[in-house]
Chains A and B, each alone.
Chain A
């Protein structure tokens, strides 16, 4: 039974799962089982999405999809200010790992449109944070103001999927001139231009 369960779970869930068996915490045990059940449901549900929607469209379990404009407004809103204060969104995020050296961040927090972990990364945990070239206020929180380089995911805790998106969107923003990038100094030799 345990073996079949393990094969069903994603590797990282499996590790926390087994860890928690060690602690013998009944509550966590239950929570993980629920998670497993939901993941299993997804496979079946994907086939009969339409049927489900007709029956219970209001109580859709899927994650909300937020557009960029809303996200930009959210970053200027009072709610954002109350939630995060003046700190970057990743500042108070703590990763849950064993030992002193943090492992690489997980591949993704969202699988088949739904949170697949109980400690999603700073961007995945808030649906209203959308990484986009136009959303410079959010992107700048992940960029060092001194060097203009993107902060490491080890520091910010972003999952690798979001980190990849971040890098792409920052490049796009730099191309459009929304974010400044490092520029080398160009020295001219005036003699080259005398024709």
Chain B
């Protein structure tokens, strides 16, 4: 168990410290109690999208079928996945290989690259912990600053780490998320994450970068900087997805790890029409059908799902898309035209 004192650390504090750490606190009990507190605490300021925020998207997101559909939609343009990205330059290595060895190397490289398409988890924003663990008025004004206690046991995961704060009024509570993130970065630093949030994620800079269409870079950096359930992460990514959707730049994200997130976000908030149109215009009929299937999984109560169930299992892709156009679409005339053009081409 280690603890960090903000601003000052003197020898005379060490004794008080040990006492504080053991006062009324059974350390291991927190892991279970924190979850209960999470559930009971009040909701964060999340965007009002109606009832959809109440549901937790993560269990649906990690479902195998959904993951399969998402990775199929993403596609695998090897030139884009293996394309140039900034890293330290090394001298190339040359080797003489037999045909069989070359084939093996190619397969290994493909394997390695497909791991780069892992989709970042799609989650709801996390809730703040407000209920105090213990209130000790006797300890009030023991110092002028808060004490943060961090569990630095070896091998513990960042998300399971116990971080508590003893406040100046003697209250002991689970550390707020931002304190927690900073403590994690101090004791278990992760490469690519800054201690302070980069100014890039401020409103002004973010809008500038979206205007410059640096979508992939913003999303990549957001992944490095934030946890997937950080409200900042969700705000940033949703802003970018919205910009991509309204600008019709869906193709910029194709064959990157963020395309799945984009598709899931659009389907979740029932805004997938322009993405579907983009797919049909680019001749990705099977992708379009997969998107409709995804829609039916995410919204099992919708009209689209019920009509889709009535379809025979071996019906063609166009029929599946047709169901979506008939039941849920808001851009039905344009979609109908695109689908018609696609069928005529075949």
Enumerate chain A interface residues (CB-CB to B < 8 A): 144, 146-149, 174-177, 180-188, 190, 192-195
Contact = CB atoms under 8 A, between A and B. Distances in A.
Contact of B214 (A176, A177, A181, A183): A177
A182 B88 contact: yes
B224 A184 contact: yes
A30 B225 CA distance: 59
B123 A146 contact: no
B116 A185 contact: yes
B200 A177 contact: yes
B88 A177 contact: no
B86 A181 contact: yes
Contacts of A181: 86
Interface string B109-130: 0000001101011010000000
B15 interface: no
Given A186-B224, A193-B123, A193-B228, A147 B192 contact: no
B88 A190 contact: no
21 contacts: A146-B86, A148-B86, A175-B200, A177-B199, A177-B200, A177-B205, A177-B217, A177-B218, A180-B217, A181-B86, A184-B192, A184-B224, A186-B223, A188-B121, A190-B62, A193-B123, A193-B228, A194-B59, A194-B62, A195-B35, A195-B38
B14 to A, nearest CB: 34
Contact of A176 (B88, B159, B205, B223): B205
Given A177-B208, A187-B118, A193-B229, 19 more contacts: A147-B86, A148-B87, A176-B198, A176-B199, A176-B205, A177-B199, A177-B206, A177-B217, A177-B218, A180-B217, A183-B86, A183-B220, A183-B221, A186-B120, A186-B192, A187-B115, A188-B121, A193-B121, A193-B159
Contacts of A146: 84, 86, 89
Contacts of B224: 183-184, 186
A116 to B, nearest CB: 36
A149 B87 CA distance: 8
Contact of B87 (A174, A182, A186, A190): A182
Interface residues of B, number: 39
Contacts of B205: 176-177
Contacts of A186: 120, 190, 192, 223-224
Interface string B166-207: 000000000000000000000000111010001110000110
Contacts of A188: 118, 120-121, 228
B209 interface: yes
A146, A177, A193: residue with the most chain B Cβ atoms closer than 10 Å: A177
B141 interface: no
Contacts of A148: 86-87
A141 B38 CA distance: 50
Contacts of A183: 85-86, 192, 217, 220-221, 224
B24 interface: no
B203 to A, nearest CB: 12
Contacts of A190: 62, 121
B157 interface: yes
Contacts of A182: 86-88
Given A177-B200, A180-B86, A186-B224, A193 B58 contact: yes
B88 A184 contact: no
Interface string B79-123: 000001111110000000000000000000000000110101101
**Centre residue among B38, B194, B221 by max chain A CB count within 10 A:** B221
B111 to A, nearest CB: 14
A144 B84 CA distance: 13
Contacts of A177: 198-200, 205-206, 208-209, 214, 217-218, 221
Nearest to B196: A175
B167 to A, nearest CB: 26
A184 B214 contact: no
A175 B199 contact: yes
A180 B214 contact: yes
Lowest 7 CB-CB distances: which A-B pairs, in order?
A: A177-B200, A148-B86, A184-B192, A182-B86, A184-B191, A147-B89, A175-B198
Nearest to A180: B217
A26 B85 CA distance: 55
Contacts of A193: 58, 121, 123, 159, 228-229
A181 B225 CA distance: 13
B33 to A, nearest CB: 14
Interface in B194-248: 194, 198-200, 205-206, 208-209, 214, 217-218, 220-221, 223-224, 228-229
A144 B87 CA distance: 10
A144 B89 contact: yes
Given A184-B224, A187-B115, A192 B198 contact: no
A187 B209 CA distance: 25
